[in-house]
Structure 1
Amino acid sequence: MNIAAKYTLLVRGITLNTWIPFYFLQSLVINFSFGYSFSLLHTLAFSCLLFVLWRVAPRLQKGVVAICSLLAALYFPFGMTYGSPNFNTLLALHATNFTESTEIITLFPWYSYLVSAAIIVSGVIAQRRKITPQDSWRRVDILCLVFCIACLFAVPVKNLLKWGHFSLMDTGYPVFRFVKDVVINNQEVVNEKARMLELSRQKDSWQVLIVKPRYQTYVVVIGESARRDALGAFGGQWDNTPFASTVNGTLFLDFIASSGSTQTSLGMSLTRVVDGVPHYQDNIVSLANRAGFRTWWFSNHGQIGEYDTAIASIAKRADEVQFLKKGNYEEGEDTRDDSLLQMTAQVLSTPGPEPRMIVLHLLGSHPQACERTQGKYAEFVQSKETSCYLYSMTQTDTLLKQLYQQLQKTGDSFSMVYFSDHGLTYKARLTGGQYMAHGDQYQENYQVPMMVISSDDKARRLINARRSGNDFLYFFSDWTGIQAKSLTPDYQFVSEQAAGPAWVTNFKLEKIDYSQLPSDLSEAGVN
């Protein structure tokens, strides 16, 4: 009898021991899947939590494992590319249409989905564990429970000692952090959209002092996801921008975008910002309107609603607005940037007495780049996606050339500015699956091209002084000859005059010093 009992305990002990490393592995994968930095402490704590739950409520434990495994599997490809949920990722989710969503899904490397499948399989295996009667609590069970509780308080207590703030909401458990970050950041996005809607109903507060435009027509071309070192005209090693590399005009070789994402970057660049908060009603379009300009906004991006994104809120201030995509499921066609030239041709064919401003918002080099180029590329570099990305710069360069020719044919004086909203980051580097994605951790995420081409340019001028997208509104005021009471620049934008340090806004809406960011050139592996 004793021998049989000992044998039974031994078998159960071995079985138990096989589940301990299994739960630890699950906890480890879940930690990484949600995009957080590795924490051995909380990985062990979550493993102990699963162990304790199995002892006291095995069916509840199975439910927790099922939910966590499903969330981890769904988010893993996003977490590896974009990190943990933050304001930017939730804002992008709100502002992304169906076509862009499917493109993002197909952008991730195939092996990320293999890992997601493995996570699902591990969750299924955990569900198949048989529930058996449990013995009374042992010392190891109590120790695991105490450890779980202690880890629950670890980060809150640390914050209390360091910052004087205590909240259990700050616990470091990855699953809890994921849910909290999604809920809180989503609410912040909802609140921001509500604020934009409120501001969209308000009149602008511009007080225009002087209007002295030098040109009859002004064109603002907003590029998308153009990393500066990918353009030959701006120091890139590829000869992929023949127009920008030869045309007379002013090129800024150290222009830094405001942020690493479209909505935040353009929200900070095109509007008046007070204490770090964009006032969307005071933007380049409403300023031009107030100065008596006729304004147009043509976009190849999706319009989810009237005013529910920063860009839509700004665009709707124009006298005439057209979006090639409406941003709903029924309109998921892939439209090309050069379709916008049909709209500019129509505007330019009907001259008027007032000065005019046309804004073009390109889809440009938005991932997936091969969707922009229909799979075409001029030179193979590292991967097909990287090659398409470089060729997408050529497509934008060609569009700028065609637009320039349209402006020349009118016979009117004109000036055109081109810049991109943000750069990108290399992912899956040094592999055949290398691709580009949004990021906020490297300088290259903010390094973008900017150039000004005017009808009276007689030579090429290169500006090496650092310029920030946060000061774009000051440039716009000087460029268009519109002086307003609240626009008082500290330096001459189109010059080599020093402008002081540049700061950028990361995905968590934190203001950081651009110069303190590392470069990814040493890791990119693009030759």
Structure 2
Amino acid sequence: MNLTVKETLTTRAIALNPWTGFYFLQSLLINFALGYEFSILYAVAFSCVLLLLWRSAPKFQKGLLAICSLIAAMYFPFGQAYGSPNFNTLLALHSTNFEESTELMTIFPWYSYLVSVFILALGIIAVRRKVAPKKRNWCHFDSLCLVVSVVCFFVAPVQNLAYGGVFKFKDSGYPVFRFVKDVVVNNQEVIDEQTRMQAFAQMKDTWNVLAVKPKYHTYVVVIGESARRDALGAFGGHWDNTPFASQVNGNLFMDYVAASGSTQKSLGMTLNRVIDGKPQYQDSIITLANRAGFQTWWFSNQGQIGEYDTAIASIAKRADEVHFLKNGDFEADKNTRDEALLKMTAQVFATQHTTPQLIVLHLMGSHPQACDRTQGKYKDFVQSKETSCYLYTMTQTDDLLKQLYQQLKNTGDSFSMVYFSDHGLAFKERGTDVQYLAHDDEFQQNFQVPFMVLSSDDTAHRQIKARRSANDFLNFFSAWTGIKTKELTPKYKFISEQKAGPIYITNFKLKKVDYTHLQTDVFETQTR
């Protein structure tokens, strides 16, 4: 009887101990910081793990908490914007240069960093807790913690098995465990993809060109960056911020859907032939144009870390002439403007060419942080300064397209120009004065982007309402440039109102998702 009373008092003492609540708070914050959906179950379970470790291996517990707190504090701002680690975030880590990284860190609201400091402070307090001189005896509370910890570890694997999946220990739902697994697994997938890409980059293309009958002398592809379609007035946006695109003769596609939600993955699947969901980097629009006898140029205002470090650099390097305004190394901190690319196109147009030309321009466009693109300038204030700058980047790109269009007209040669964006963005901190836009894959607006085709013989401003997918861009490119190949068989006429069938996008977990099943992320029009 005395033993039972003693056990009860011990259990009550531990449960009411302030450190029990402290560890629960840490568990909640770590769960929240790592970008996973909130789970009270796993917060309780991880608290039990910490309590058990404190009573049995306090030094190990301190080391674990120190690492978890440090990683959680560092990842918290990213986790709130981009969620838990996935293929896309790890790919961005591999391919983002120093300038883009520093820009990214400045876009998060200040209070995200305040929470990070708080998480770190709690970690320091936990590490400084003094260890009791003598080892405590095992009690009922310890047994309860052990049961909860073990049972919760198996919840997710058992659920997977119950729903027709496979039982795997690595599928445990503990946020800390999931974070490590997701980083390791997705990082390996990125490395495998880059290895595959580098191997393809050294291979000869496999195009079999059957006929080459270009309608125009000069073809230009302008690749925008991070432009949501509803942010452009010409494509249904609420603001008159694209005067050129709103009136120019040509075809504007009002329902074009990007292939994925990030630059590398989206353009990898747009500009290359794709087999079984995997881009064949040796078979791109550049190698197709080269094979057909076009002279090819690639001018980019995006970073290049190495010769074949990114999917885009791998494609670009196959062009006859390539120039990156940014080298992408740690010293490349110049905030170069897209307009600088027009000096390069002017040089190309200053010389007569007898062969057909393909020129690709890759813009920085509306890449976060938008106010860095506009030097803080904006016209209409909408909710926050960053959102307002984002709208003004559309005007800047519209003006670039106007100047490029005029350059093409001045050559006197026939031409056709395509402009589209790689992907859209989603709102973060919505409705606050620090509202901003960032990469995401949960909303239709992450994939709704502008697409237009302007040709020298266009006589009317036309809007095409039929839905089109970037997954079909290569078929469009083939028909557009008059290059017929054995490998490409268009199923419908791209520049038409003909229906194209269901549209699928590739999310950040590399899963194909029906575009119509995605949520919406409406662009609010609140101004002042």
Q: Using structure 1 for the length normalisation, give the TM-score.
A: 0.96
- Aligned partner of residue 293 in structure 2, secondary structure: coil
C-alpha distance in structure 1 between counterparts of 2:286 and 2:394, whole Å: 27
The alpha carbon displacement at 1:161 in A equals 2.8
C-alpha distance in structure 2 between counterparts of 1:250 and 1:143, whole Å: 67
Maintained 8 Å contact 1:269/1:473: yes
Matched residue type, 1:283:
S
Matched residue type, 1:436:
L
Go from structure 1 to structure 2 and tell me whether the alpha carbon gap of 1:145 and 1:201 turns closer, same or farther (over 3 Å shift): same
Partner residue of 1:244?
Answer: 245
Maintained 8 Å contact 2:14/2:20: no
Maintained 8 Å contact 1:34/1:174: yes
Deviates more, 1:15-24 or 1:220-229: 15-24
Asked if 1:514 corresponds to 2:515, the answer is yes
C-alpha distance in structure 2 between counterparts of 1:15 and 1:28, whole Å: 17
Q: Deviations over 1:441-479 (max 9, x none)?
A: 000000000011111111111100000000001110111
Matched residue type, 1:279:
Q
Matched residue type, 1:263:
Q
Q: Deviations over 1:391-447 (max 9, x none)?
A: 000000000000011111111000000000000001111111111101100000000
Partner residue of 1:505?
Answer: 506
Deviates more, 1:16-25 or 1:286-295: 16-25
- Superposed, which structure 2 residues align to 1:133-212 within 5 Å? 133-212=134-213
The alpha carbon displacement at 1:526 in A equals 4.5
Maintained 8 Å contact 2:11/2:141: no
C-alpha distance in structure 1 between counterparts of 2:302 and 2:140, whole Å: 61
Go from structure 1 to structure 2 and tell me whether the alpha carbon gap of 1:166 and 1:497 turns closer, same or farther (over 3 Å shift): same
C-alpha distance in structure 1 between counterparts of 2:377 and 2:148, whole Å: 56
C-alpha distance in structure 2 between counterparts of 1:40 and 1:432, whole Å: 30
The alpha carbon displacement at 1:160 in A equals 2.4
- Aligned partner of residue 123 in structure 1, secondary structure: helix
C-alpha distance in structure 2 between counterparts of 1:381 and 1:153, whole Å: 47
Q: Deviations over 1:163-217 (max 9, x none)?
A: 3512211111101110111111111111111101100111100001111001100
Q: Deviations over 1:70-123 (max 9, x none)?
A: 010000000000000000000011110000000000000001000001101111
- Superposed, which structure 2 residues align to 1:115-126 within 5 Å? 115-126=115-126
Partner residue of 1:356?
Answer: 357
- Superposed, which structure 2 residues align to 1:371-382 within 5 Å? 371-382=372-383
- Aligned partner of residue 243 in structure 1, secondary structure: helix
Partner residue of 2:113?
Answer: 113
Matched residue type, 2:468:
R
Maintained 8 Å contact 1:429/1:525: no
- Superposed, which structure 2 residues align to 1:67-466 within 5 Å? 67-132=67-132, 133-466=134-467
Go from structure 1 to structure 2 and tell me whether the alpha carbon gap of 1:250 and 1:517 turns closer, same or farther (over 3 Å shift): same
Across the aligned residues of Structure 1 and Structure 2, the Cα RMSD in angstroms comes to: 1.6
Maintained 8 Å contact 1:212/1:480: yes
Deviates more, 1:248-257 or 1:132-141: 132-141
- Aligned partner of residue 328 in structure 1, secondary structure: coil
Q: Deviations over 1:459-513 (max 9, x none)?
A: 1111000000000011101110111111101110000000001100011111000
C-alpha distance in structure 1 between counterparts of 2:161 and 2:123, whole Å: 36
C-alpha distance in structure 2 between counterparts of 1:212 and 1:11, whole Å: 83
C-alpha distance in structure 2 between counterparts of 1:164 and 1:435, whole Å: 38
Maintained 8 Å contact 2:272/2:283: yes
C-alpha distance in structure 1 between counterparts of 2:141 and 2:517, whole Å: 47
C-alpha distance in structure 1 between counterparts of 2:267 and 2:397, whole Å: 19
C-alpha distance in structure 2 between counterparts of 1:301 and 1:280, whole Å: 19
C-alpha distance in structure 1 between counterparts of 2:136 and 2:223, whole Å: 67
- Aligned partner of residue 419 in structure 1, secondary structure: strand
Partner residue of 1:34?
Answer: 34
Q: Identity rate of aligned residues, in percent?
A: 68
The alpha carbon displacement at 1:140 in A equals 1.0
C-alpha distance in structure 2 between counterparts of 1:66 and 1:139, whole Å: 28
Deviates more, 1:234-243 or 1:9-18: 9-18
C-alpha distance in structure 1 between counterparts of 2:11 and 2:181, whole Å: 41
C-alpha distance in structure 1 between counterparts of 2:454 and 2:165, whole Å: 54
Matched residue type, 1:338:
E
Maintained 8 Å contact 2:224/2:362: yes
The alpha carbon displacement at 1:11 in A equals 13
Matched residue type, 2:151:
A
Maintained 8 Å contact 2:260/2:423: yes
C-alpha distance in structure 1 between counterparts of 2:15 and 2:232, whole Å: 59
Maintained 8 Å contact 2:371/2:386: yes
- Aligned partner of residue 507 in structure 1, secondary structure: coil
Maintained 8 Å contact 1:377/1:388: yes
C-alpha distance in structure 2 between counterparts of 1:165 and 1:286, whole Å: 42
Q: Deviations over 1:255-291 (max 9, x none)?
A: 0000110011101111101111110110100000000
Segments of 4+ moved more than 6 angstroms: 9-12
Maintained 8 Å contact 1:206/1:287: yes
Deviates more, 1:258-267 or 1:156-165: 156-165
C-alpha distance in structure 1 between counterparts of 2:118 and 2:412, whole Å: 63
Deviates more, 1:130-139 or 1:346-355: 130-139
Maintained 8 Å contact 1:223/1:364: yes
Asked if 1:61 corresponds to 2:94, the answer is no
Matched residue type, 1:223:
G
Q: Using structure 2 for the length normalisation, give the TM-score.
A: 0.96
Go from structure 1 to structure 2 and tell me whether the alpha carbon gap of 1:459 and 1:142 turns closer, same or farther (over 3 Å shift): same
Matched residue type, 1:379:
D
Maintained 8 Å contact 1:256/1:466: yes
The alpha carbon displacement at 1:525 in A equals 6.2
Maintained 8 Å contact 2:382/2:525: no
Maintained 8 Å contact 1:430/1:525: no
Maintained 8 Å contact 2:386/2:435: yes
